[in-house]
Chains A and B, each alone.
Chain A
Amino acid sequence: NAGVTQTPKFQVLKTGQSMTLQCAQDMNHEYMSWYRQDPGMGLRLIHYSVGAGITDQGEVPNGYNVSRSTTEDFPLRLLSAAPSQTSVYFCASSFSGVGQPQHFGDGTRLSIL
């Protein structure tokens, strides 16, 4: 009963490096999203997907890429890491439809030096 699994849990990068944050869900949810949470702030939407092959931008998409080739997986790619991308990243999934609650992973804590 894994739910939403995010890897890695922690990562330190140097400015300019690229990396992929992994997210997988085993609940057959159609919708998946990526958020970032900065200290003292709420969750801000980076990118989201309403199904395999369909993605769209959220509130803060710059510097990030996503793709959704399967229902289960929704990786987030940092193209060229910047210190401003230091944050905690959460992946979430839900069934389709308004009002459906999202299920979150435990987050990836990312530091960019």
Chain B
Amino acid sequence: DQQVKQNSPSLSVQEGRISILNCDYTNSMFDYFLWYKKYPAEGPTFLISISSIKDKNEDGRFTVFLNKSAKHLSLHIVPSQPGDSAVYFCATNTNAGKSTFGDGTTLTVKP
């Protein structure tokens, strides 16, 4: 049973528009949610996180929203840039050594 699900394998948006990446989870006991970004032939890099006691966290062009009742979180990128084209992973973190990752969403931002 997959505890973290990213149901959209891919997303394509136009440069300058908003990108919305979604993630659903099953365990209401998760304390933290993190988003990572991954370019080909590189390891994932941390992007932004949110605690389960908050419903929004913003960092520049990136905002993560958490809806605990729906067990759903989303990552908004505004405005999207071609350099944002990458695979985005949603992850949970109840123990810093033991994270659970979704399968990822490949974002393509077209110039």
**CB neighbors of B among A20-45 (8 A):** 31-33, 35, 40-45
Q: Is A8 an interface residue (CB 8 A)?
A: no
Q: Which residue of A lies closest to B41 (CB)?
A: A106
Least distance between A73 CB and chain B CB atoms (Å): 15
- Partner of B103 from the list A41, A50, A96 (CB cut-off 8 Å) is A41
Could you give, for residues 89-113 of chain A, a 1 whenever the CB lies within 8 Å of some chain B CB and a 0 otherwise? 0101011111111111111000000
Q: Do B49 and A43 touch (CB < 8 A)?
A: no
User: How many residues of A are in contact with the other chain, CB < 8 A?
Assistant: 32
Please report whether the interface of chain B is mostly helix, strand, loop or mixed according to DSSP: strand
Q: Report the bound CA distance from A50 to B96 in whole Å.
A: 8
Least distance between A41 CB and chain B CB atoms (Å): 5
**Chain B contacts for A35, CB-based, 8 A:** 101
Interface residues on B, range: 20 to 34
Q: Do A42 and B99 touch (CB < 8 A)?
A: no
Q: Is B34 an interface residue (CB 8 A)?
A: yes
Q: Do A32 and B31 touch (CB < 8 A)?
A: no
Q: Is B95 an interface residue (CB 8 A)?
A: yes
Q: Do A42 and B97 touch (CB < 8 A)?
A: no
Least distance between B87 CB and chain A CB atoms (Å): 9
Where the two chains meet, the residues of A that have a C-beta atom closer than 8 Å to any C-beta of B are 4, 31-33, 35, 40-45, 48-50, 56, 58, 90, 92, 94-107
* Nearest 3 A/B pairs, CB to CB: A104-B43, A101-B46, A99-B32
